[in-house]
Amino acid sequence: MLKLGVLVSGGGTNLQAILDAVESGRITNAEVSLVISNNAGAYALERAHMHEIPAVCISPKSYESRDEFHKALLSELQNHQIDLVVLAGFLVAVPPMIVGAYPNRIINIHPSLIPSFCGTGFYGLRVHEGVLDRGVKVTGATVHFVDAGTDTGPIILQKAVEVQEGDTPEILQRRVMEQAEWKILPEAIDLIANGKVMVENGKVRISR
């Protein structure tokens, strides 16, 4: 049984998609063992409480330095013997110290088709604003392993979503979540939990 540690900052709809998929059996061989938020007010913490999952806030504000904050995050993950770290709308950059402790064991959901509209500065609504400003007709979401860069790790799954006439960033964000994020994040976790994801030469190979 793969022990998942889900890191969140906000509403936690991606966390909810994972919890629903575990309950319905779309994710097998994995359980959500820990939820960590950097933000005490995150509704994602409530969602974890409702499922009786250990949930903690680890905020950078509670530590004297960034380094102390990072050490606290890492030791919480290690204390719960987490096997796979899932960044589900976690708005904090994961430092090399944690990436190094979990090589190809941290995944992130990004709300665009990487390598478009990703990297530093592209988070939250800014991603969808970028998509609408450029006028692309197709966007989507990507699940990837986390490496030392920003949104640069091996890509596990992607799903395309149409941009429609009259979209606002908020409307597009919702469509990308409903049609892509909430599907491919649980699917990627299920594939990893069942040993179907291999990384070779920086690229993911999936055996189905």
Q: Between 60 and 124, whose beta carbon lies closer to ligand GRF?
A: 124
Binding mask 26-65 toward ligand GRF (x if CB under 6 A, else -) reads ------------------x---------------------
* Residues of this chain, 114-133, that bind ligand GRF according to CB under 6 A: 124
- Asked if residue 111 binds ligand GRF (CB under 6 A), the reply is yes
Stretch that binds ligand GRF, among 8-16, 28-36, 78-86, 161-169 (CB under 6 A): 8-16
The CA-based dihedral angle spanning residues 49, 127, 95, 14, taken in that order and rounded to the nearest 10 degrees:
20
- Asked if residue 5 binds ligand GRF (CB under 6 A), the reply is no
Stretch that binds ligand GRF, among 11-19, 29-37, 50-58, 67-75 (CB under 6 A): 11-19
Residues counted in the chain: 208
CA 63, 89, 14, 168 torsion: positive or negative? positive
Alpha helices in the chain (DSSP H): 13-24, 43-50, 66-79, 96-101, 125-134, 169-176, 182-193
Q: Is 195 left (phi over 0), alpha (psi -120 to 50) or beta?
A: left
Stretch that binds ligand GRF, among 62-70, 78-86, 108-116, 146-154 (CB under 6 A): 108-116
Encoded tokens for 105: 């064991």
Peptide bond into 115 cis (omega under 30): yes
In the list 181, 192, 193, 197, the residue contacting ligand GRF (rule: CB under 6 A) is 181
Report the SS3 class of residue 192: helix
- Asked if residue 13 binds ligand GRF (CB under 6 A), the reply is yes
| Residues labelled catalytic | 110
Query: Measured between alpha carbons, how far is 152 from 137 in angstroms, rounded to an integer?
Result: 23
Q: Between 114 and 194, whose beta carbon lies closer to ligand GRF?
A: 114
Binding site for ligand GRF (CB under 6 A): 8, 10-14, 44, 88-89, 109-111, 124, 177, 181
